[in-house]
Homo-oligomer: A and B are copies of this chain.
Amino acid sequence: MLKRYLLAPGPTPVPPEALLAMAAPIMHHRTPEFSAVFRRVADRARGLFATEQPVLLLASTGTGAMEAAVTNTLSRGDRVLVVEAGKFGERWGEICASYGLEVTAIKVEWGQAVAPETVAAELAKHPDTKALLIQGSETSTTVLHPIAEIARLTRETDCLLIVDGITSVGVVDIPMDATGIDVLVTGSQKAIMLPPGLALIALSEKAWRANRSATLPRYYFDLAKERKSLEKDTSAYTPAVSLIVGLDAVFDLIESTGGLAEVYRRHAILAEATRAGARALGMRLLASDSPSPAVTGVWLPDSVDGAEFPKLLRNVFGVQVAGGQGHLKGKIIRIGHIGYSDAFDVIVAMSALEMALRKSGVEVQAGAGTSAAQNVLMRLYDGA
């Protein structure tokens, strides 16, 4: 018997409440019953994004919504600035290049956050920049970018700030409207604890204005059409019915357990505990300066076979973490603590790490990681 623990930065485990809701008989999507769910979910999503704007629900994963962010606000030949601090930053660049935009990349060392001054300098160098594209949290390097500071550079200008919030929305409090984000995107298989296949996207007034003159081709991801449909409590094309029903259950769960403030607090504590545990095991953090509260990257000791180590964790201990991507492949592991994740997931991760390191011949003090993590995790139960 091998119990399985999914501790990756997405897909994340789905709470039983949502699994049950999604296992209910399927609803027809053009009915008052489903329209009521659709409307309620879209409204609750506005709370999640902290925006007055409509949040649109797309039947795709996050990458589809990233493409939608580009094709619905820009035109061929437009200049864009892309923060390339990891694999998903590169994805922004690839999407923009696919559609014939003029891409200027701000390349940042993997594991580092972009410095707002660097962005400011690039914006000054290219005053014709139509959009700045960035991740809230760069999942591949476990870094949190300083979105609020960067938004201060764009919000009084014509340049759009387009943020991939796939591992930051519902993880850390970056309110869309108050921050000045123009396009915000997320996906279902991360903080909102569902299977992959639903994407959420919202546009600021500035972005909707840009939409009116944006000429890149689009059909399935036509956000103006989706907004019109949402006004009638429906979607332009068949919606991902079961995931929307699941999201309603997830919002119930979040609401009944302290709301978003508690969600952000939990993610921050789980992340801090994971970092404390890893450090106590003598491991170096990939993102030491600006770590993401969604996922923690740690360098593997040189003596450890980096390709085998995640397999050891999975096959012997039943613990699924993520390895490195791109040039970090085989050099790091990434431990997710996003979504349906609690104190004991961190304890399991630390304990598995201890045992897998010992099995790999690394000298480790049993319990060093778990106890360091536990000291932080105690804060989760303050006042209980």
Binding site for B on A (CB under 8 A): 4, 6, 8, 10-14, 19-20, 22-23, 25-31, 59-64, 66-67, 94-95, 98-100, 187, 189, 195-198, 216-222, 237-243, 314, 320, 322
Contacts and interface: CB of A to CB of B under 8 A. Distances in A.
A242 B23 contact: no
A98 B20 CA distance: 40
B31 A240 contact: no
Contacts of A12: 26
25 contacts: A6-B26, A6-B27, A8-B28, A11-B29, A13-B26, A20-B23, A22-B23, A22-B195, A23-B23, A59-B197, A61-B237, A61-B238, A63-B219, A63-B238, A64-B64, A66-B220, A98-B217, A98-B218, A98-B219, A187-B238, A189-B241, A195-B241, A195-B243, A196-B239, A197-B197
B28 A6 contact: yes
Given A11-B241, A12-B26, 9 more contacts: A6-B26, A11-B29, A14-B26, A28-B320, A31-B320, A59-B61, A187-B238, A196-B242, A217-B217
Given A22-B22, A26-B14, A63-B237, A217 B216 contact: yes
A283 B205 CA distance: 51
Contacts of A320: 28, 31
A196 B243 CA distance: 9
Contacts of A241: 11, 189, 195-196
A33 to B, nearest CB: 9
Nearest to A29: B11
A29 B61 CA distance: 13
A116 to B, nearest CB: 28
CB-based closest 9 A-B pairs: A195-B242, A197-B240, A197-B197, A64-B220, A23-B23, A63-B237, A98-B219, A196-B238, A61-B238
A37 B179 CA distance: 42
| Count of this chain's copies in the oligomeric assembly | 2
A9 B61 CA distance: 25
A243 B241 CA distance: 12
Nearest to A99: B217
Nearest to A60: B60
Contacts of A13: 25-26
A242 B188 CA distance: 12
Nearest to A68: B220
A283 B222 CA distance: 39
Contacts of A29: 11, 196
A217 B11 contact: no
Contact of A220 (B25, B60, B196): B60
Nearest to A240: B197
A60 B59 contact: yes
A322 B238 CA distance: 14
A316 to B, nearest CB: 14
A90 B177 CA distance: 38
Contacts of A31: 314, 320
A28 B62 CA distance: 16
Contacts of A20: 23
Contacts of A67: 219-220
A169 to B, nearest CB: 16
Contact of A322 (B10, B30, B61, B64): B30
A245 B109 CA distance: 38
Nearest to A245: B195
B4 A25 contact: yes
